Structures are given as structure tokens and as C-alpha cells.
Structure 1
């Protein structure tokens, strides 16, 4: 819009009428309030900008139907900032426009936009609240399947629960990164007799995946909860309820991972790297595995990995052996393998790393000057049980 040129100089007008500038301003203000004149008094620049009624209404309609910065109006109309603020306040007072001025931020916002924004915020708040509720529902559903896996429930029962979870995720979190994985699990289970009980290996693998899904859904629920609390002024009671639910959820997921880890941990082997000899083994649960056969297999497969890549850094960390997964970690003198009846969790990896540090610390001299005597490591059972939090000492593998 071009600047309006129809201006009255306040000083010249005062001189012409032999009045003070203040008298002219007061007179113009009365005329504006009565609706006889249409324009803007700009005291800083000493002018009165006069508009026809039609043009005046056009300006009001164009500039005050949406949020706008006062500086923008001042620049376009050629007014000083204070004059523009005063004019907008006068328009509000006269009822010509409805809204508020945010003088700190320097903008005007109409009431319609405020009301619409509040409505949108309320709608968004409801949406976020629903997402929080739905994320907790998904978590609860996954926990139920975890229990089914632990008990070895019917395939049909597990599939029904999975289907409900898929529908909830599709309706609320269609971009959830594990959605396709959950669909694949449902599809894979269709190959089984639905009235049969889920196999232990399948159940363990499914539960491992469930733990990963739970962690990421938990992350979504935490993010949405924080958004709801910070952005939508949740009541103190709501905050307490949400935080309590989040804490309970976190504890339950940790418990599920811990119980799964204890259940699938099968055998721990410690191999002296230089000699290749199995110097210690520990059996967590039932099952027959030959420690010497396993240690030979591990040494051979590790050598193969190094030779294949011509690098000492290529030693394998995870291997499959029959229906077991083997996770391998090491330090200077020993290579330690944890054999599980399912996929080894990060929880078990951390425990194993902690165990290796303690074992090497306790037997540093024996490992440095190893003579082939493995009996000196037999009292490591207590260290295993303490590190892996085993309540009852299991039977050790017969050598």
C-alpha cells in the first residue's frame, strides 16, 4: 500500500488558527471519537493523517484482521511508532477493532485469533493427552504379550493381542519405526498352528523384540508427557499422575528386561586368549553344552574372522550356535562368551562387561602368569552370582 499523502501539519494549523498545537490535537481527538473525522494523529511527526471514511475502514480491515506488528503498520502508513500504538489503542477503545496490543513484543492480535488459537491449543492438548493414553495402552498390551511369551501361551492368543497393538499404533503413531517389525511378527505367526503353544525359541526372540518396542514407545510417552505438562498447563494432580505412570512404566520395562535376561542366560565361558584353554565356565540353567567344544568352536571362528579380514579388529561379537546366541567380550588376557537361549540384551552386555573387569582385577597375576592350572578360578562362582544377581546357585557344568 502506498503512503497516504493527505496530511495536515499540526503546527501550521495551530498557527493559522492562532491556537496551541495541543488544542488542535484535542479538537481532532474529539472529532475522531465522534466519527466526524477519520485519521491518525501523529504527534511525534507533528501531522494528522486524514482519510476518507471508506479508506479508513479499508485500512482497519486490511491491517487488523490478523496478528500484525505495530512497526509494520507504522512503516507502511508513514507514522511514528508511538503514534501508531496510540492510534491502535484508540481504535480498541472506540470499539472499531477488537483485540489486544502486546507492547512488549510489539504486535496487535485480534480476539478472533486469540479465541481460535485457544481452541486449537485445547484441541492439540486433547490430542497430546490421547497420545499419552494410547502409548500407555500399547505399553500395557506389549507387557501382556511378554507375559504370554514367558508362560508359553497359545499362538492365537498372542496374535490377537498383537493385532490390537498394530491397530492402535496405526491409528496414533503411524510413523513408529517398529511398526513394520510388529506386522512382520504377526505375519510370521500365521505360519504356526494357532491352537498350538508358542515354541520357547520363538517366544524368547519375540520377547526380545518386545523389549525394544517397549523402550521406544516409552520414549514417545515421555516426550508427549513433557509436552503436555510444559505447553498445556497440566494441573498439579495431572502432573503427579503422569509422572507416577511414567516411573511405574520404566520400572516394569526394566523388570521385564531383567527377568528375560536371567531366563535366557545359559552358560558363561572364560577362555584364556593365549592358550585357547577354557579356564572357567558357569551354567545358569538346565541344558547340556560342552564347554571345551564351545571354546574350541569360538577360538576357531574368531581366528577365521581375523584371517578373512586380515585385521585383529575383526573378531566377531555375536554368533549363532544351534538355537543359542553367543555374545563375546574380552580384555587383555581373556575372551568371555555368554551363551543365551535367546538374543542377548544390552542389560546382559553391561553385566558381562562389569564381570570381566572384576574377574580380571581379581585374577590379574594368575592370568598374566597362567600355567594351565584352572582350579584357581573355581571360586569365581560367587562373583558370577553377585554380578548377574543370581538368587540361587545353579548346577555347574560337569567337565
Structure 2
């Protein structure tokens, strides 16, 4: 099979890691190499070469170009939001022709050249690049594996800039931008602390543990911080990250020290309401949630019978106990459909009062339903049950006939049918004015398979038998650990130590080979030195490159964790007892081997489950690529469009011009607002390109904003101009 980049699939491979065996394109190859243009004496690092798209390792400075600000030579760059457009950027100062005078921007390189000559920032008739081959400055850099770095960072630990700098040999100031780039590319799942610049990751098992706790209990951040030995601020960052990245947990921080999920929040609000009449505003402020959300929670509690209460006439106070509203609510929920005249007689009230009460129910989101044409009222749930009964009998039925059976207007029927199809409550489609029933469809999510990389880790765990960590200065063993069920008695371990002692002086830390291997009594002892300790990893056979890489990272982590104890060691081995969990985590061995190696199961999701997950993802992100959803759920793009089409019909969102993205109307309005803030005069085509919409569609959106009085502007000859 042809090698390709393990991250983006680019067939042009620039680097293959000896430790993990994965290949990467130039863009996804970690590098701290520094290149130099021999003509201009300008240095290039990896970030700069990516920024200017230098893949041929040649200098891209423009000959005879002059920055109007500092007289340095210029580069040509692409506009980030509109890559078709080109402009000039100074190689030394912050001047560029996109934002500063003289403004020189164009999609046509010839037009760009002519404008540059007119403004006297280019002296050639055409743009000519330096193209001198860049050379690596001796002893200033090397390539490193982004894949191995990601694997290390995602183990479940805290990594400081200093630790990552030692792994990658990058300067400390470059670590934070590297982490941000990896996170923006969705290659890291952990938390980057913007203050201390540390990176925090969780093992899959501890992540599941936290999520399960967040689902069922109120989380005290102070206690959790003490439990996992982290600063409370970092714990808060971890929980926020979990809520934002998983669909499994929904909740809120009710104060600076407490997180609570929505189910427990309902219980707390219900308990508060039971005690005394409570203002909605008071609940809203106490739990830091909007009043609309408070009413939704109370409505749900009333519907499922968790509490009996009713609203004050202004709808701003919820009152516990039995009242007209409570009795009417019980009747509506019990029957599903009521006749207003009969219920008014039963409750001994006027029918107009009954209608006003039901109107308040709907306003306060206590109930959802419609008035029927036979002077009744039916809940949405009741109408949906009726529709299910009808479509079981009729494979095809007109909307008018169904409306007659339900005694509600045909538009209401259509709206209900669309929602039920969308949420997989019924299977079918609407063509013209006719509903056609179809068979239920099950979607199967792509099953995960155990990767070659994970198989290597399992093989490494089986190979490793015993670990010895020896204090470098004293030569004493600070920690030893048996990684297998083989019986290593004290005499055997003593023999190992003697073997290490006899060969210890031969280890040369300046060697390019990271480990020295010694064969002894049928075993292989892989020995390595750090700054403070020597280590001996006893294996059945010679360790694989992946195990060697793990040993290197383990020593770095161990010395960082126990630096104070090792530097001023008094012979006390008590502090090193925690090393066991460190070894189990790094080498997947011991009692936690099954705990850390994920069990892969085939997952099957129904269409209903997939639709709900997709809708939540769309609602959370606002704008989402269909390709991402395709990879997430293992279903075709056409099926995803089918799932999202009802949202388009309901006016909740739309597909972009290339049909590759879906964007909600709320997100679209936010993006339009941001664009309009930055300029008073814009081409419709420029706005369309930024929104990824057709120009005609964009013009229609802008005209609507003008007509609705949300913006004071006019459109003339394809130009949007604010007045």
C-alpha cells in the first residue's frame, strides 16, 4: 500500500517515524529545524514556512520589492478569509498591503504586479522570487513525530511547556502556538490552560468516570480538585471542556464552586417551589439560567407529575398546591384531548375562563397543543398518538383526510407530520398533499477496529517483564516493579542488579542510540540514563521502537515528577511508591492493563438516535461540515442532508452553496453581524464568499435586514453600503 499522511491522507510523505511507523506530510511533520536564505540571511522555521506555503524549501522573498514602512523586501500572501485574493506582507515589520496604505490587493497576479509598480513597492516588471535553496543551520534543529507527541499528550497527565519543549526541542515560546494549532485541527482533546500554558489530558477511563459523575451527582469543584490534586480553576476548565465536547452531559455552574446536571437542577427547583410561592426571576438569578429555561423546567416537572403548582395571573410567580390550573392540568395530561364545554361545566367555571387558562399554559410552556375544530383542545402528544394509529392503517393518506380525522387544520397536520418524520416517530414522506408511509431504516455506525498502533502497545506490554529505577549518584534502587506474572525472586533480581552494575560504566549518554541492550539469562535488559536516574527495563526480547520511545518519555516524566526527591535524596523510598501507577499508565501493564486498553465494540444507532445527535451537534456548533458528520456516524452525505432538510423547511438553517456545510439561521445572523461591523461598504460577492452562500441568497438576507429595520443601508449595483 502506498504511504500517505496519517493525519490528512496526503500521498506526498515527508517524514516516517522510526518509533511508531506512521508517515506524515510536510505540513504535519513536527520540526524545530531552522532554515536560512543564503542571499537575504532571513531565517525560516516550520510555522513561517507553512504560513507562506513554502514546500520547495526555497526562499520566497520578492526580488526588488520594498516595504514603504521599513524598506525591507516583501512576500506575497493569501487573504485568510478569501484565499483567491493576494496581497503583500513585509518580511520585517507588520506592514501589509491588505490593511495599510498603499492598499494593493487582487485575485489576478498581473493586476497585483501592476498596482505594486504604480505604488513603487515593486521595481521589476513582474514578480520574481529569490528561490535560493534554503539550508538548515547546523545543529539547530531536527524533525519529530507529531503522532507520537499527540499520543504522549493524550495519555492522561499534565504537561508543562518545559516538558513539551524537552520532548520536541522547540523553544518554550513556540509550545503554546503548537498546542493551539493541534487543538484547532481537532488532533487534541484535552485542555490548554491559557494562564499557565500547561496541557491537561484525561485517560478515556477517567474521562468516562467524570462524565458518569456529572450525570448523576452535583460536583463540588473544591472536593474534586483535592481528589485529583489539581488547582480548582483547572478542574473547572476540564468540566467546561467535557460539557462542550460531549453530548452526554448537559448542565450548568450554579456558582463558582458547583456544577450540576439538568436532571438534578429540576429536582432542586421543584424542592424550592414546594416550600412557598417563588418568583421565576428569583430562580433564574439563583441558578444562573434564563427565565425561559426555568419555565421549560417547571413545565416538564408539572407534565410528569413531579409537582402540583400553578402560575400567578402575570405568569411571573409559581405557586405550589391545588388550584384551578392544577386540576385542569391533571385533566389535560390524563385525557390528552378535552371538550371545553364539558370541562367548564365539570369545573364550574365559564368557558372563556377555561380558554384563558389554557392560553396561559401555552404561554408559560406548561403544555403544548392546539384547539380542535369540535370546540376542544388536544395536546401534541395526543395528536401524535392519533397520527401513529392512522398511518398504521393507511400506507397513503391525503393531509386533508387526516386533518378531518384529527379535527385540526391541514397546515397543523403537515407541521406535525414533518416533525414526527424528522424525529423518527413515523417513517415516510410528504409529496404534494399526500403522506406516504415507508419502512423503518436502521443506520449502522461504522465499527471501530483496533489499530496497528494499539496492537503494538499491547505487544509492548506483553514483552516488558520487570522495571528497575536506580538513583544515578548513589547507585541504589529507588523503585522496582514486576510487570508480569513470572516469578522474579530476590536472587534473580539481585542478579539483574549485579549485571547492571557490571555494565553500568559502559553506558555512554552521548550515544545516538537511546538504549543499551544486554542479554542475560534468556532476557534482554534495555538500559537508559536520564539526568538523575538510570533505568533497566527487563524484556523477553529486544524492545520494539515504540517501547523504546515510551521508555524515553517515561524517564522524562519520572524525573520531572520526583525532581526534588531525587536531587536531595536521603535514602527514603517512600515518595516513589506512586511510580507504580506511572508505569502502568505509560506501558499499559500490571493490574490496570484491561482498565487502560479500550474494549472495542460495534455500535449500532437507530435513525432516531443519529438524528437527535446530529441536531444537537448542529445546535451547538452553528456551522458544521457534512463530511465531519459522515465520519462521525458512518452514514452517507445524502442521508445527512435528508436528516437536516426538515430544519431547512422549518427555516432553522440552510445548506451552503457547495452543499458541504449546514449553518443555522442564528449562526448566520451572527456571522453577518460580524462582517457588517468591520466595514460600511461591501461587495455582495465578498459577503457571499465569507458566508459560503450564493450571491443572490446573500443579497436576499441583506435586503431582509434592511426591510426589517435592523440595519440602515442600501444595495446598489451589487454593493451593500451602510448609511
TM-score, with length taken from structure 1: 0.33
The structure with more radius of gyration: 1
Structure having the larger proportion of residues in helix: 1
TM-score, with length taken from structure 2: 0.18
Structure having the larger proportion of residues in strand: 2
